[in-house]
Amino acid sequence: MKNNGWLLLKTLLLSTSQRNIYKYSKDKKKRGKVIAGWIGFGILYLLLIAYCVATSIGYGQMGIAGSIPVLCSLTISAMAFLLTLFKTNGYLFGFKEYDMLMSLPFEARTVAGCKFLYMYCQSLPWYLGIALSMMAGYGIYERPGLSVYLIWICLSLVLPLIPMLIAAFLGFLIARVSSGFRNKTVIQTVLVTGVTLLLFASRFLIEDMIRDDRVEETLESLANLTENIAGVYPPALWFAESVTGLRISRILLLAGCSLLLFEAVFLTVGRSYRKINSSLHAHGAAGQYRLSAQKKHSVLLAIAFKELRRMLGSTVYLVNMGLGELFCLVLGLAVLILGFDRFIALFTRNAPIETQMLFPSIPLIVYFLLGMVATTTASPSLEGKNYWIVKSLPIDSRDLYRGKMLFNLGLTLPFMVFATLCMCASARVPLGTTLLYLVQGCAALGFSSAWGCVCGIRFLRLDWENEVEVVKQGAAVALYMFPNTFVTIGLVVLSVFLGTRMDRNVLSLLFTAVTALLAFLCYRRVMTLAAKA
């Protein structure tokens, strides 16, 4: 990249640098928020490191520490691919400062390349966290030489590039296809989610490939395992061979391919970058409206409708917040088509499990998908520069957040009812129990909306430049998502375990009561915070 490319990259990083805000802001509250953000980031980072180290130790204890480099490579690659696919639209195309940047003497490919590298720099600390903690786990069991550590560290910087570039290129193709349509957001969302679903489906195919060779036997042999995976994703093999075999050719192959792919992708993207952005910025204006009868709605419904329009108008927001609903739909249909037992067998690998044991986990599995991210985590911050509207209008702050929670419930409840009914019908759950699970689902979604709103208000950030900063990287979303996901997984396991020792309906009733209580407490907290906002 030319010198002005580095200048642009530096400026992009500086423009969203929290350190810069801390250094130059005289506002104590703002500086305090930056510190709180760092603390939150640090806690999540430590959790991630602990998880990766624990996974490596697990591998070590099983005697397959040699597989850690492949595991590390695959984990980072999968994360980099998925996260980039979800972020590309917001970072590379249709961003706010497009006009300003393109009016400066930068080539289109430089702007696109810098935007990509900016995205890479923002995500790199997370990938390094995974890579280095797995390296530590590998080091404990394999006791490699110093050169292994050095190569591992250096290649950790390169490892996310190929999957990120592939995802960015797919994002580019999606943007290019959708830019030709009037409903660009909907087309983009459908294509992105389609690719995501394909990826998830391919996971099962890959597992089948490995399982054909019998997992236990394969795990004993690193060579077999890497060979199998290399058939699907060669860079994983290159990384593993670079680290374990210290093969210079593989190091050069990984670095060279990353560089060549970067050049090729942005040469291609650069050619139609201007055209795509012009199409994405252009709005079809019919200018033929005739004033007709209007309807009056309550303030809460008006706010909920506003939220719906906000979500439908943004691919980043829609894809990230609507994924749970889509998965729920797929889950419901899959269970209906495959049958409950066969569906569960996909995950339990045909382990002998009594179907009824899993009944109490049904509402929790549904909640795991729908409660993954609540729109209320991001929607307060997404007001951004529009905040003046709700602040200057006679909207009670509590009504504003009630409206946001109402929208989240309106969005998630129908999917919860659908998925729960599909699972219960397929598993032949008694009617009374089904109703109990529906009530439990309602309580869980009530909790999700309210807890999300607490996080959204506590970590309100209006001065964002790109909505990705709120939807994907926001402190509110992170604080909500990670604990919620882990606790829900824990509760699924706990519900199955406790279900074998006590009456399952009593257990579900207990879960419902606790969740409803938490939802109520969170709702009260939202009202307190809203009154102060």
Partner 1 sequence: METGREKKPVLEIRGYTKVYGEGKKAADKVSLTVESGDIFGFIGHNGAGKSTTIRAVVGVLDFTEGEIRIDGHSVKEEPMACKRITAYIPDNPDLYENMTGIQYLNFVADVFGIGAKEREEQIARYAGRLEITEALGDLIGSYSHGMKQKLALVSALIHSPKLLVLDEPFVGLDPKASYTLKEIMHELCEQGTAVFFSTHVLDVAEKLCNKVAIIKQGQIIAEGTMEELTEGRSLEETFLEVVDEK
d(CA 223, CA 266): 35
- When binding is defined by CB under 8 A, the residue of 103, 208, 309, 431 that contacts partner 1 is 309
User: Which residues lie below 8 Å from residue 33, measured CB to CB, with a gap of 6+?
Assistant: 459, 461
Kindly tell me which of 285 and 431 has the beta carbon lying closer to partner 1.
Answer: 285
Nearer to partner 1, 396 or 503 (CB): 396
CB of 223 vs partner 1, minimal distance in Å? 53
The minimum distance between CB 505 and partner 1, in angstroms, equals 43
CA pair distance 389, 107, nearest whole angstrom: 37
With CA atoms as reference, report the closest residue to 86 among 249, 236, 247, 196.
196
User: Smallest Cα–Cα separation from 130: which of 164, 162, 159?
Assistant: 159
Q: Using the rule CB under 8 A, which residue among 177, 232, 338, 395 binds partner 1? A: 395
User: CA-to-CA distance for 316 and 225, rounded, in angstroms?
Assistant: 36
3-state SS assignment for residue 481:
helix
Helix axes 340-348, 397-427, angle to 10 degrees: 100
532 touches partner 1 (CB under 8 A): no
Alpha carbon distance 261, 123 (integer Å): 19
- 501 lies in the binding site for partner 1 (CB under 8 A): no
286 in contact with partner 1 (CB under 8 A) = yes
* Residue number, 257 or 395, with CB nearest to partner 1: 395
284 touches partner 1 (CB under 8 A): yes
Which helix (H) or strand (E) segment is 121 a member of? Answer: helix 108-142
Closer residue to partner 1 (CB): 250 or 402: 402
| Candidate list 287, 347, 349, 354; residue touching partner 1; CB under 8 A | 287
In terms of C-beta distances under 8 Å and separation of at least 24 residues, what long-range contacts does 387-390 make, across chains too? 387/462
Residue 312 binds to partner 1 (criterion: CB under 8 A): yes
Closest CB to partner 1 among residues 303, 422: 303
Residues 7-66 that bind partner 1 (CB under 8 A): 25-30
CB burial of residue 39 (10 Å; 0-12, 13-18, 19+): exposed
Interface with partner 1 (CB under 8 A), residue from 202, 298, 348, 356: 298
CB of 285 to partner 1, least distance (A): 4
| Both structure tokens of 441 | 């689902």
Complex with partner 1: residue 310 or 504, whichever CB lies closer:
310
Determine if 100 is a binding residue for partner 1 (CB under 8 A).
Answer: no
Q: How far is the CB of 288 from partner 1 (least distance, A)?
A: 6
State how far the Cα of 419 lies from the Cα of 500, in Å rounded to an integer. 24
DSSP letters of 243-287? HHH--HHHHHHHHHHHHHHHHHHHHHHHHHHHHHHHHHH------
Among 226, 314, 377, 484, binds partner 1 (CB under 8 A): 314
Q: Note whether 375 and 311 are within 8 A (CB).
A: yes
Query: Taking contact as CB under 8 A, which single stretch among the options 231-239, 263-271, 293-301, 457-465 is the one that binds partner 1?
Result: 293-301
Contact range with partner 1 by CB under 8 A, out of 131-139, 166-174, 256-264, 391-399: 391-399
Binder of partner 1 out of 36, 353, 389, 493 (CB under 8 A): 389
Residue span binding partner 1 (CB under 8 A) among the ranges 97-105, 299-307, 373-381, 504-512: 299-307
Q: How far is the CB of 313 from partner 1 (least distance, A)?
A: 2
Q: Which position among 296, 349, 501, 532 is part of the footprint of partner 1 (CB under 8 A)?
A: 296
Interface mask toward partner 1 for 351-370; x: CB under 8 A: --------------------
Nearest residue (CB) to partner 1, 275 versus 297: 297
Residue 464 near residue 384, CB atoms below 8 Å: yes
Other residues' Cβ atoms within 10 Å of the Cβ of residue 109: 19
Using CB under 8 A as the binding rule, whether residue 521 contacts partner 1 is answered as: no
Report if residue 96 touches partner 1, rule: CB under 8 A.
no
Stretch that binds partner 1, among 153-161, 333-341, 362-370, 388-396 (CB under 8 A): 388-396
Task: Quote the CA–CA distance of 270 and 282 in Å, as a whole number.
Answer: 19
In terms of CB distance, is 136 or 302 closer to partner 1?
302
Give the range of 188-196, 308-316, 348-356, 500-508 binding partner 1 by CB under 8 A.
308-316
Cα distances (Å, whole numbers) of residue 239 to 67, 89, 129, 202, 227: 12, 29, 17, 22, 13
H-type alpha helices, 349-430: 362-370, 375-382, 387-392, 397-427
- Binding partner 1 (rule: CB under 8 A), the pick from 3, 350, 388, 431 is 388
Q: Single out the segment in contact with partner 1 by CB under 8 A; choices: 167-175, 284-292, 445-453, 512-520.
A: 284-292
Output the CA–CA distances (angstroms, integers) from residue 371 to 85, 386, 486, in the order listed.
21, 27, 12
Alpha-carbon dihedral sign for residues 234, 239, 241, 244: negative
**Of 279 and 434, which has the nearer Cβ to partner 1?**
279
Q: For residue 496, what are the contacts with CB-CB under 8 A and spacing of at least 6? A: 357, 358, 360, 361
164 neighbors 92 (Cβ within 8 angstroms): no
Report whether 412 contacts 367 (CB < 8 A).
Answer: no
Choose one: 8-16, 162-170, 303-311, 460-468; the region binding partner 1 (CB under 8 A).
Answer: 303-311
> Per CB under 8 A, which region of 120-128, 150-158, 280-288, 357-365 contacts partner 1?
280-288
Query: Is 432 a residue that touches partner 1 (CB under 8 A)?
Result: no
- Among 59-67, 226-234, 390-398, 525-533, which window interacts with partner 1 (CB under 8 A)? 390-398
* Residues making contact with partner 1 (CB under 8 A): 25-30, 283-291, 293-299, 301-302, 305-306, 309-310, 312-314, 384-386, 388-389, 391-396
